[in-house]
Structures are given as structure tokens and as C-alpha cells.
Structure 1
């Protein structure tokens, strides 16, 4: 990776979902167009040193100036607390049953939010694996790989927002925004020239891999519904539930896009809804 990172390099090497984040080599610099791209998409920047430590940019966004590294997910740089979520007293000895709910509270690992994080962790791990499987065969169709990278960065942002309580930004995939993804998932024949599918062997390996991710995202969505459903059938975190719902739709759209590209060699032009 060069010391100067261009817009072209960002588009080629990183997931660029709106509201997500990128991890850049410590000491690297962004060209003006690269910096503008990240600003327009409200993408946070973190810097990673050769030994894997993560830093926030300095005030001028000219690299990592902090002496203390931060947590790669939460950006915290303080030792977490050990307060019991039930009695609010300090836990003298943290057993294997307990884990951190946030930067202060300890809860049992059976806590619903911890169960949801497990689903998200599985989804992210499988997505990275699918990305490695896409790498050799999709050199002809980099747009599909870039779209999957955007969804992977959205997943990371979703996990971060669950942990920190921040509001989740709407999903995006390549140049497709939330509304466009939603419309295509409901009317693929109109927008992609191919009707709905129930995956089967003839659709090939790449569609099958994406369908595994779609199914895992549905499992995570159901876990989120169980976790955040109120007694009046409302949701305490509607942003996360809707984000997971749209994620499964985006993966389904990407499955169809992959099928169309592999069948015809091209895609119809797709434009954002707004």
C-alpha cells in the first residue's frame, strides 16, 4: 500500500458502505479526492500499525498521532469496567460465565444481546470466507466483489452500533442505496431482467455461497427481533432490525446480480432511487 492513498485505491481495496469505517496503514495519507469520498459517505478512518494496533486520526487527519491505541470495534482506549449489571457492584472475580455488555457492565453470556453478537460474529466470519472464495474467480467482475465488500463493512458497522448504542446508518451496496435495494429485491425481473429464484445446484457455487450469507443474515434478524422486541410488540432498536432486514435483501439482490452476470456477462444499468 503506497503512502498516499487515492480514491481509486479506496474503491479497489476497501468496502465503502455509508457510515462504516476504513482501516488504513499508519502513516499513510489521503489524496483530496479520497478524503472527499470518505467524507461524502461519512466513513470513519482508523489507522493500523505494523503490529496490529489501531489508532484514531489526529485533528488534521494526517495519520495516527495518539500515543494510546484504541479498541478496533468501539474506539475505546480505557480498561473496561467490571460492574455487575444486576446489583451494580464491582465484580471481584470475573467467571467464565460473564462477559462485557458494554465498556462497564458484565452480564452472563446467555444475555440476549450477547447471543445476537454471536450471530453477527458468525455472519461476518462467513462473509470474509466467501470473499476469499470470490477473489480468484471474480477478476472479470470486480463490481460484484466490491458490492460484497460494502456489505461486509455494513455488517461491521452494525455490530459496532449494537455494542456502542450509536444509530445505524442505512445500508448501501456499490452505488445502490437502501430504497433501490428494496425495490430490486421485490421486482428483480423489472430491474435485473431475471425473476425471483429459489437457489438450486444449477445456479452455481457463487450464488450458493451468497445464499448461505443471506440465510445467516435472516437468522441474525430473527435474533435481533427476539432481543429488541418490547412487551407492546414494538422495537427498542428498530434501526438494527431494519438494517438486518435490508442486509438479507441486499444479499439476495447480489445473488441475482451474480446469476445474471455469470449467465449474460453484463448487468443492466442500475440507478439509486434518489
Structure 2
């Protein structure tokens, strides 16, 4: 016989003071049914009297299988990982729509698109362009890894500049590139500049997901280092655009 969570819930509604349940030998509990028993602290006992060695071994195996392997952020315990949940760190589970999990998915997608861009622009064979693309790619990877393993971003650089320098350069194109801000990007611009502009726009969306993940409703701010890095990511890509329109990456 297979005992499901639905059947257990039906029995529990009839007797919410249930402390134990008797099962016939050989009864199979589904994973969700087993989890329900754990959550409600309901003990399982065998109906048979005078257990055989085989029955004792079965009980030992069942008890081992029912030991919680995961826990939720509120302390709830899980024998198996539900399909709608994922590990946020260690054996701690959250739903897959948790804001930090969404952030991980968006930065993963952003990195994958950046790699495609790097491949697309290989044919230009501009050493400076490839070097800058690789610098941004490494920067993205550092942010991703830092969030997953919980380590702070310390003294990181991108485009061989500190994050403060990146901000200064991106805010002062007249000083560093002898031109005004790029307000008129259009289809007549070079392919690298147009693609970089696309990625710059996507990086702003990524930054918003970071804010949603790390700025709590009560005003508490987590991972200020990542939020700063995300802000500078779009600035670094903008600097690459400025380098592109001023001919540093060639004329294509």
C-alpha cells in the first residue's frame, strides 16, 4: 500500500491531536507524506506484534531515510528537496522565486550574453577591445562568485581602474575623451558600440534586481559591495562605448 500526503492530511483533519499512526508492514510512504509526518511530529508504529529481524531492519532504513537533509530559512526541515526550492547556501533551501535566486539567474543570463558578445567581436581582432571585454567578463564573474560564496568584493578593478576612477571617467567624457555624453546612439554607429549599448541597458536591469535582492523593505541594506559593483558595471560598459566612438577599437 502507498500512503500519500493527501491521505494523511485527510486523516489529520479528523484527529488533529494525532501523535502516532499505525501502518501495515510494507506500507510505502511518499516523500511528501514522510515530510508531513515529520512536520506534525507524528510517530510511525507497526501494526504487527513481535517484530521480525526483517521488520526491524526495515524500520531502521525508514528512520534513516526520514532524517532531514535540508532546512528552510525559517527553520523548517526537509527530508528531500522539493522541486520548487533550491539551495541558497549550504543545505539551506528557499523557493526558486526568492529575490536572491532571481538575481543569480539574471546575472547568469547577463554573463552568458556577454560571452556571446565576446565571441561575436573576435573577428574585429582589436587587442584593446578584446582586453576590455575580458576585463568586464572577469568583473561579472567576480560579482557572481562573491554573492554565491558570501565573500566580500575587496579592492576590485575593471578596465584596469578602481571603482572610483570608473565613476569619475564615466561622468566626465569631456575631460577624458574630449566629447560630450552619448545621447544619440543610433543604427549608424559601429556594431561594437551598438552591442555595448545593449549590454549597458541590460546591466541597468541587472542592477535593479540587485537592489530588489539586497535592499530590504525595512531599509536594511545587504551586500553594499555588490550593489556598488553593479552600479559601476554599467559605467564601465559606457566607458567602452566612449572608447568605441572615439576610434580606440577601430572603425568598424
Q: TM-score range by the shorter chain?
A: 0.5 to 0.7
Q: Which residue of 1 aligns with 2:238?
A: 252
| Residue of structure 1 equivalent to 2:140 | 155
Provide the residue aligned with 1:36 in structure 2: none
Which ranges in structure 1 are unaligned for 5 or more consecutive residues? Answer: 1-80, 266-274
Aligned partner of 2:107 in structure 1 is: 120
Residue 153 of structure 1, CA deviation: 0.8
Cα distance between partner residues in 1 of 2:163 and 2:222:
21
Q: What number of residue pairs does the alignment pair up?
A: 182
Equivalent residue number for residue 161 of structure 2: 176
Q: Is the radius of gyration larger for structure 1 or structure 2?
A: 2
Determine if the alignment matches structure 1 residue 219 to structure 2 residue 209.
no
Give per-residue Cα distances to partners, 1:42-88, cap 9 Å, x unaligned: xxxxxxxxxxxxxxxxxxxxxxxxxxxxxxxxxxxxxxx63222334
- CA distance, structure 2, for counterparts of residue 133 and residue 263 of structure 1: 14
- Do the aligned partners of 1:211 and 1:255 also contact (CA within 8 Å) in 2? yes
Q: CA shift at 1:148, angstroms? A: 1.4
Contact persistence 1:143–1:174 (CA under 8 A): no
Contact kept, 8 Å, 1:148 with 1:173, in 2: the verdict is no
Where relative contact order (Cα < 8 A, 6+ residues apart) is larger, the structure is 1
1:194 & 1:264 partners in 2: Cα distance? 18
How many Å separate the matches in 2 of 1:98 and 1:241? 25
Gaps in structure 2 of 5+ consecutive residues? 1-68
Match of residue 208 from structure 1: 194
For residues 108 and 71 of structure 2, what CA distance do their matches in structure 1 show?
A: 24
Out of 72, 80, 94, the position equivalent to 1:107 is 94
More helix by share: 2
C-alpha contact 1:171 1:246 (8 A) present in aligned 2: no
Counterpart in the other structure of 1:98: 85
TM-score normalised to structure 2 length:
0.67
**Alignment partners' CA distance in 1, 2:129 and 2:178:** 17
Distance in 1 between the 2:237 and 2:173 partners? 13
Over 3 Å counting, the alpha-carbon distance change for 1:252 and 1:158 in structure 2 is same
Give the distance between the partners of 1:201 and 1:252, measured in 2 at CA: 17
Taking the aligned partners of 1:263 and 1:126, their CA distance within structure 2 comes to 20
Deviation at 1:262, TM superposition (A): 5.7
RMSD: 1.9
Cα-to-partner distance string for 1:193-232 (whole Å, 9 max, x where unaligned):
2221132112121111111211121111111111111345
